Amino acid sequence: MAKAKQPTKPTVELPGTRDELMALHRETRARRNKAAHGSPEHVEAIDLLCRIEIEIAAIERAMDPPLG
Handedness of CA 10, 12, 15, 18 (dihedral sign): negative
User: In this predicted structure, what is the pLDDT of residue 62?
Assistant: 87
In the predicted model, is pLDDT for residue 3 greater than 90? no
* Domain of residue 57, residue span: 18-62
Angle at the Cα of 53 (from 37 to 16), degrees rounded to 5? 125
User: In this predicted structure, what is the pLDDT of residue 47?
Assistant: 97
Segment 15-63, tens digit of pLDDT? 999 999 999 999 999 999 999 999 999 999 999 999 999 999 999 888 8
11 part of a folded domain: no
4 part of a folded domain: no
7 part of a folded domain: no
Distance CA(48)–CA(10), nearest Å, equals: 8
Specify the number of domains making up the chain.
1
51 part of a folded domain: yes
In the predicted model, is pLDDT for residue 10 greater than 90? no
Coil vs helix vs strand at 36? coil
6 part of a folded domain: no
pTM for this model (two decimals): 0.78
In 3D space, the residue among 35, 32, 31, 28 whose CA is nearest the CA of residue 53 turns out to be 28
